[in-house]
Amino acid sequence: MDLPVLTPSTPAASGGCSSSSCGSSAEQMSHLPEDILRRVQDHPCYSEDAHHHFARMHVAVAPACNIQCNYCNRKYDCANESRPGVVSELLTPDQAVKKTLVVASEIPQMSVLGIAGPGDPLANPERTFETFRKVAEYAPDIKLCVSTNGLSLPSVVDELSQYNIDHVTITINCVDPEIGARIYPWIFWNNRRIRGVEGARILIEQQQKGLEMLVERGVLVKVNSVMIPGVNDVHLKEVSRIVKSKGAFLHNVMPLISEPEHGTFYGLTGQRGPTQDELMALQDACAGDMNMMRHCRQCRADAVGLLGEDRGDEFTLEKIEMMTIDYAAAMKRRAVLRADVLAKLDARRSVKASNGLVSLVPAGAAPAPERQTRPVKIAVATAGGGVINQHFGHAREFLVYEASTEGARFISHRKTDLYCAGGDTCGDGESVLQRTIRALEGCEVVLCSKIGFEPWGQLEAAGIQPNGEHAMEPIEEAVMAVYREMAEAGKLAPREMPLRHSA
C-alpha cells in the first residue's frame, strides 16, 4: 500500500495537528491551514479526534428532493434502518428548533446541527433556512451545517452565507455526464423533469459552480462521493483531484449501500457495493491528491448523538413537547464542557508530540536499525473518550487503525449491524458474531475492554487475536504497544505471501 509518510513531529508546532496524534486527522487534516483546523476541531463529522468527544444531530425538516439517485428510494422508512436519507418523523422548523435546544441541553457535547434531508435541504429552502435562522438566534453556540446534492446551490449561496453556516457538504459522484446518467435517472430543473445525460450534465454544472461560489465566500466545503463499483469507482480519483483544485477541504468517499430490501434501483438490479478493501484502496489512491475522510458513519437524516450512536428515540416529538428548557443555563454548561474537552485534546496532542509515541522504538531504547516490519490492522472497541472502554459484545462498530513503523493511523470504522438491527426477520439471518467477524476482515487484532469465551475462540479461529489487556488505555498508545509486542515476537516480517498460515 502506498502510504503517505508521517514525519515525526516537532513539539514546537503551535497546537496544530502535526503527528499521528490526531488519529485520522494526521493524514486528512495535516495539509489544512491552521484557521480551518480551528474551525473543525469540535466538529465530530470532520475530525475523528473530535468525534470521540463531541456529538452531532440532524433535524429532518427537508422532505422534498429535486433529483433521483439510483441508491435512494423515497418510499422507504423502516425503524430498523440507519441509512442516510431515512427518517422516522418529519419536523416543522419550529419543532426542529425546540428539538435542537432540548438535545443541546441534555447532551452538552452536541456541537453541530446539520440539515441533511430526508430530501435535499436546498430543495426546501424556506423550511431549511427558517430552522437555521431561529437556531442561530436562540443557540449561537451551535455550529450549523447542511448537505446538498448541489442542484439548487448556486441560487441560494448568498442566502446560505447569511446564516453563518460555515460548513457545506456537496454530494458529488461524478464530473462526467455519461457516468452521471448511470447514477441519476432524472433531475427537476426549470419546471421540467430532465432525464439521462442532459440531466446529469446540468447537475454536474450546478455542483461545480456551487462549489466554486462557496469557496469564494470562505465557506468550508466537504465533498461526499458514493463509491459504486463498475460505475464511478475509477472516476472518483478524477473527482477528488478536481474538487480539491477548486478548494474543497475534505473528500469523503463512502460505500454504496444497496440491499435489495431497500427497494432502490441499484438494490433491485444487483449493483453491489464495494468491499472494505476496495473502499480503502480507493481512499488511499485519492489521498495523494486530497485530504480524505475515513470515519463517516453514513448516519440517518435524523440521527442524534455521538457518531456511531443514535439517541433519536429519546427525543421524539412527543417527548420533547413535554420538556422545558433553560437554554441560558445550558449554554454555560456547554461552554465549560467544550473548553474542558478542547484543553484535554490539546494536552493529549502535545504529550504525544513530545513523547515519541509515533516511533516503533520505545523511548529510551537504543535506536533500532531500520528493521522492516509490515503494517498491521488493529480493530478497537470504544464508547468514546479516546480510550479502549467497550466490551466486545456491546460494540456496534469498531475503529480500525493501521499500525506501522510510522505510527498508528485511523483508517476506517466497521459497523457490525450493517445498517440494520432488525434481527432475524430481515436480512440473511447470519448471527451477530458471524457478522462482526466478517466486518473485521483484514484485522489481525481486536482491542476491547473485555470479551466473552465464545467470541474469543471464534475470533482466534478466524485469525483475529482478541486482546483485553489494554482496557481504559488511550487508543493509539495501546495500538502501538500491541504493534511493538508483535514486532518483538517476530510476527511482523514483511509479507512475501498472504500471511494466513500464522493465524
Q: Which residues bind another protein (CB under 8 A)?
A: 63-66, 68, 70, 73-76, 78, 90, 119, 123-124, 185-186, 188, 191-193, 260-261, 263-265, 268-269, 425-426
Which residue, 85, 81, 101, is CA-closest to 93?
Answer: 101
Full strand arrangement of the beta sheet holding 376-380: 407-415, 397-404, 376-380, 445-447, 465-467
- Nearest residue to 47 (alpha-carbon basis) of 293, 396, 357: 293
DSSP sequence for 281-292: HHHHHHHTTS-E
Q: Residue 155 in 3-state DSSP? A: helix
Report, in Å, the least distance between residue 265 CB and another protein.
Answer: 5
Q: Quickly tell me which residue has 439517541 as its cell.
A: 311
| Least distance (Å) between residue 394 CB and another protein | 28
Report, in Å, the least distance between residue 66 CB and another protein.
7
68/240 with CB nearer another protein: 68
Q: How far is the CB of 199 from another protein (least distance, A)?
A: 12
255: left (phi over 0), alpha (psi -120 to 50) or beta: beta
Nearer to another protein, 42 or 302 (CB): 302
Q: Minimum Å distance from CB 53 to another protein?
A: 36
Which of 15, 427 has the CB closer to another protein? 427
130: Cα separation from own chain's centroid: 27
> Which residue, 73 or 449, has its beta carbon nearer to another protein?
73
Residue 283's alpha-carbon distances to 48, 91, 279, 498, in angstroms, are: 16, 35, 6, 22
Which residue is associated with the grid cell 450534465? 201
Measured CA to CA, the distance from residue 307 to residue 50 in angstroms comes to 10
CA distances from 189 to 45, 69, 265, 335 (A): 31, 15, 22, 44
* Residue 159 beta carbon to another protein: minimum distance, rounded to whole angstroms: 16
Q: How many angstroms separate the CA atoms of 454 and 394, rounded?
A: 14
Say if residues 144 and 164 touch (Cβ distance below 8 Å).
yes
Minimum CB distance to another protein, residue 294 (Å): 31
Of 68 and 382, CB closest to another protein? 68
267 versus 455: smaller Cβ distance to another protein: 267
Alpha helices in 246-326 (DSSP H): 265-268, 276-287, 317-322
* Nearest distance, CB of residue 17 and another protein, angstroms: 41
**Is the CB of 265 or the CB of 327 nearer to another protein?**
265
Containing 179, the helix (H) or strand (E) segment is helix 177-180
Q: Return the number of the residue (15 or 63) whose C-beta is nearest another protein.
A: 63
Which three three-digit cell numbers place residue 46? Answer: 470532520
How large is the greatest C-alpha to C-alpha distance in the chain, in angstroms?
A: 72
Residue 206 CA: distances (Å) to CA of 145, 149, 169, 189, 212 = 19, 9, 14, 11, 10
Neighbours of 435 (CB within 10 A): 17
* CB atoms closer than 10 angstroms to residue 216: 11
Least separation in angstroms between CB 78 and another protein: 8
CB of 79 to another protein, least distance (A): 10
| 177 vs 384 by CB, closer to another protein | 177
Name the residue nearer to another protein (CB basis): 63 or 463.
63
Q: Closest distance between another protein and the C-beta of residue 63, in Å?
A: 4
Give the Cα separation of 28 and 449 in Å (integer).
28
Q: Taking the complex as a whole, how short is the minimal distance between the CB of residue 123 and another protein, in angstroms?
A: 7
Say what angle helices 196-216 and 153-162 make with each other, to 10 degrees.
30
